[in-house]
Structure 1
């Protein structure tokens, strides 16, 4: 009985290699990136609605087009409850981060500096840690002298409630809220100090 010709494994190997290459291309975007986010694409388009600053895009929302106040529900590592009542009446900065994220480490000194600079203006800063336990988060805060509290969000509940503004894999992301608790600006990627300072200053100067 004649033997059956051997089936070449090359097509299957090519499929595996293509899948591996695709996976490798996706991983950098899923770590500290928001390359596919539609608002980031708008920023790169240069259409005047937003602009590029540092490593990330910035989206600003005019007062008339801001959405509903955020229904933020969180508890800091120190046990402080943070909800809409903590946001109302204050310009607030929410920074999504985790300790091993390189852009998070680069922007941390700028966030610490700005939180101290705007403290007398009543601006509140909160971190939202998407990955770390309390010890890791505390070590990061000591290293960079972070004066404001962070809320753990390893279960993704805070992030899930803000998917209109924070793409799930886009860390760091920084939201700047007006005194009604509405998102007035969003920075994807590492927050540029001068840009964030200008955004906060604009909101502080808005009528109460």
Structure 2
């Protein structure tokens, strides 16, 4: 196969994959039907009323710098989970906003946690965080096992990047399946932070 034919084939495969991935982010549920009790707003953010939220699964393990982390230890705080990979273009676009907003909410009852996925080693993940000024911890999940712990039909991270906001009681309040800027990120955090 010639270099040009190979390039055309790779472009076609990439286009099909992009269409498939974009289609995944519009459905609102993952892995099951039924009444999900969540609503997608005009801003693309899925939300669930406080009394109907599902508990976040066990999100614990080693961070990209080898430390132990358990998201359950942050119960009582609003937790922002960002699923990302150093290889992901949209993740690079949104990283500056996550670094900025995480600093703005420092000491205000909000904890940011990343979940780095599909990086074959921690080296590119550590470099990514350093390059983008990300100072909060990120769990290392190269095979996506943490993402699979979310129950079917809940606000689960279906794409990379995905962002979830977990309320003070450890329940998933909202989700975005696209790259966010600072405004979109704050649109997710503020209502949950305002809850009593």
Q: Same fold (TM over 0.5)?
A: yes
Answering whether residue 73 of structure 2 is matched by residue 86 of structure 1, we say: yes
Residue correspondence of structure 1 range 103-142 to structure 2 within 5 A: 103-132=90-119, 133-142=121-130
Query: Where does residue 190 of structure 1 map in the other structure?
Result: 179
CA RMSD of aligned residues (A): 2.5
Answering whether residue 46 of structure 2 is matched by residue 59 of structure 1, we say: yes
Larger Rg: 1
Q: For each residue in 1:1-34, what CA deviation from the matched residue of structure 2 results, as whole angstroms up to 9, or x when unmatched?
A: xxxxxxxxxxxxxxxxxxx99955531146xx34
C-alpha separation between the residues in 2 aligned to 1:124 and 1:29?
33
In structure 1, runs of 5+ residues without a counterpart are 1-19, 41-47
In the TM superposition, residue 178 of structure 1 has moved relative to its aligned partner by: 0.2
In structure 2, runs of 5+ residues without a counterpart are 1-9, 30-37
Q: Which moved more, 1:184-193 or 1:71-80?
A: 71-80
Query: Where does residue 28 of structure 1 map in the other structure?
Result: 18
Q: For each residue in 1:146-176, what CA deviation from the matched residue of structure 2 results, as whole angstroms up to 9, or x when unmatched?
A: 0111111112211111264122xx1100001
| Equivalent position SS for 1:106 | helix
Q: Please, what TM-score do these two structures have when normalized by structure 2?
A: 0.79
Q: 1:154 aligns with which of 131, 142, 149?
A: 142
When residues 34 and 64 of structure 1 are mapped into structure 2, their CA distance, relative to the original with a 3 A threshold, is farther
C-alpha separation between the residues in 2 aligned to 1:102 and 1:85?
30
C-alpha separation between the residues in 2 aligned to 1:204 and 1:78?
29
C-alpha separation between the residues in 2 aligned to 1:136 and 1:104?
13
When residues 139 and 179 of structure 1 are mapped into structure 2, their CA distance, relative to the original with a 3 A threshold, is same
Q: Please, what TM-score do these two structures have when normalized by structure 1?
A: 0.75
C-alpha separation between the residues in 1 aligned to 2:12 and 2:53?
37
